Every structure is written in structure tokens, then in C-alpha cells.
Amino acid sequence: MQRAMGITVHTGWGACVVVGGSLEHPEIVANALLEVLGEDERFCFHLAAEMEPRAAGEWIKRMREKACATATRELARLTARSVTACAIVAKEGQQGDLTHALASHTRIHTAEGCFYRDIFCEACKVPARIIPPSSLDVSRVGKLAASPWGRDQKLAAVAAWSLLDTGLPRPG
């Protein structure tokens, strides 16, 4: 049976759901919260904003390596369950230059969102597609799994099912 994974991205963690079947005949294979950076590090761009530029760049590089290693290890356990595609529920866009990103609080939040979205995309060893949360309708998804099962898990599941129903569209 073909399966897909959906990940709803947050600062430092993601809600991951592996599904099979369809919305009409759902199968929840796995449901996990994956923490890629701990509480002391997850707001890495906020912390970088307090550093000298060179130190900030080195800090972000280390956090990226650490987060990517953790995400790769954790996602490997989930994709080993016959997962053929992954939907990353996050906004599209670019993080931009570090100096520019650290220049305002709003840009810091944008940079962190892009950072974690990109970590999950890079760490996933199956084809991944970014799907904006605003494009998903979770109203048809009820309680399909044990806790945690909230809006994040529903978004991840609907995004994953969209890949199973239509396949991965060609970038375009």
C-alpha cells in the first residue's frame, strides 16, 4: 500500500503524520511530534540577533547541522513505513540573507519559519512538496487517532492524503 507523510512545521519541531488510504477510508500509520532543537536553542534566530554578525552566522550554521541531523534520524524511522512522498505544511518563500533577516523582529520570525521548513525538506529522504496551510481544508477530518490529534495533525494528514490522491505534481 502506498503511504505519504505530512509534517506541520513549527519553531523547533514538527507534527508528523503518516497516512495510507484516503479521506474516505483513512489509515493513520504513525503520529509523532518531532523536536529538532530543544527549548534553549529552538529560537535560534532570536538568539543570533543578540550576537556579533560572524558569531551569528556560525551559530545558525551549527543549529542547522544539529537540527538537520536530528530531523534526518527521526524522519528515517517514519519513512521506513513504505512512505513514498512527503507534504511539508508551511508557507513558501525565502529566508534571505542573515544580516537582512536579523534586522527586524518580523524578519526573524520569517527566517525561523523558513529555517525549520527547509530543515524538514532537506532531512526527508523521499520527494517532498511544500503545501501552504491556507490551501488545506481540515473540516472533513475528525478524530482519527489518539492524542496528540489536533489542527496540526489534521493539516499534516490532509496534506499527505493530497499527495496520495493526486501524486506529486511537477514543479512548475
Q: Which CATH architecture has domain 3-166?
A: 2-Layer Sandwich (3.30)
Give residue 146's pLDDT. Answer: 64
* SS3 category, 130: strand
Q: How far apart are CA 4 and CA 20, in angstroms?
A: 7
Give residue 172's pLDDT. Answer: 32
The tens digit of pLDDT for each residue in 114-170 reads 999 999 999 999 999 999 999 998 887 877 776 778 899 999 999 999 898 644 443
How large a percentage of the chain has pLDDT more than 70?
A: 94
Contact call for residues 107 and 42 (beta carbons, < 8 A):
no
Q: Which amino acid is at 62?
A: R
The tens digit of pLDDT for each residue in 40-70 reads 999 999 999 999 999 999 999 999 999 999 9
